[in-house]
Structure 1
């Protein structure tokens, strides 16, 4: 069972996943051994599922972002499975959610620029299995990228 101390540990790690166990223990008011035990338990139960670096898209030449709304012509199991497998395998699609209602999916797509996105749209998005309609909204400004959970 996750208690308030576990939530505080996760809250701190959301802000700095590279924090040492010693620093984490000090910030949450524990000694290192019990803090390390709690951390390992949170990892073992899947409450903490991993650690990663946060990379500035513009610094790696991917400063163009679009939100793409996809409606499928058919939502039978085979079409949905194939669509989702292709979306999951595509590196330019950095986030994907299946929705209730219309549209069926929202995708976050990163590209170098408008020209690269237009080519991706024509060559990859519109040919995904079962696609009936695709529309895009271009992101002007990212106000809250990668915000952690409200623990």
Structure 2
């Protein structure tokens, strides 16, 4: 699906997404028109999903990150959907992942400090529907955080 030029464009685009089409074309060694057409085609094919601003939540005063692993009740057929809908409503939930296995869902939650986390945990997390078990994992450090793909 992707040829060498597409991969070259993606490598440069991932490394510096703020480049203009002309700058990206120059780095990839193609014309701006070719670059634009290739980017449009990859967006249309769903290879490039968009661009986003990455904000350092720690710089905004959030010092605590906790990964919460949930096992949900299996008796209610709507438990999964109802849990996910409620979890989406918690602004401090940065990420929701679902799994096959003993753990059903993982939430990544941020808080300003431990007092804020404790309040979130009691008022927002424990009130999520259909929880059978919760395993909190306190985040200590991020060793690698990279969404750049090896293209």
Q: Against the structure 1 CA distance between its residues 21 and 84, is the aligned structure 2 distance closer, same or farther, given a 3 Å change threshold? A: same
Q: Is 1:121 the equivalent of 2:121?
A: yes
Per-residue CA deviations over 1:88-138 (Å, capped at 9, x if unaligned) read: 232211111111111111111111111111111111111111111112111
RMSD: 1.6
2:85 alignment partner in structure 1: 85
Q: How many residues align?
A: 151
Is there any run of 5+ residues in structure 1 with no aligned partner, and where? none
TM-score by length of 1: 0.91
Distance 1:127 1:92 in 2: 15
Question: How far apart in 1 are the matches of 2:47 and 2:76?
Answer: 32
Q: CA–CA distance in 2 between the matches of 1:75 and 1:32?
A: 57
Task: Tell me the residue number matched to 2:69.
Answer: 69
Moved over 4 A (4+): none
Q: Normalising to structure 2: TM-score of the pair?
A: 0.91
- 8 Å Cα contact 1:17/1:52 also seen in 2: no
Matching residue of 1:94: 94
Unmatched 5+ stretches in structure 2: none
Where does residue 14 of structure 1 map in the other structure?
14
Which residue number in structure 2 is paired with residue 108 of structure 1?
108
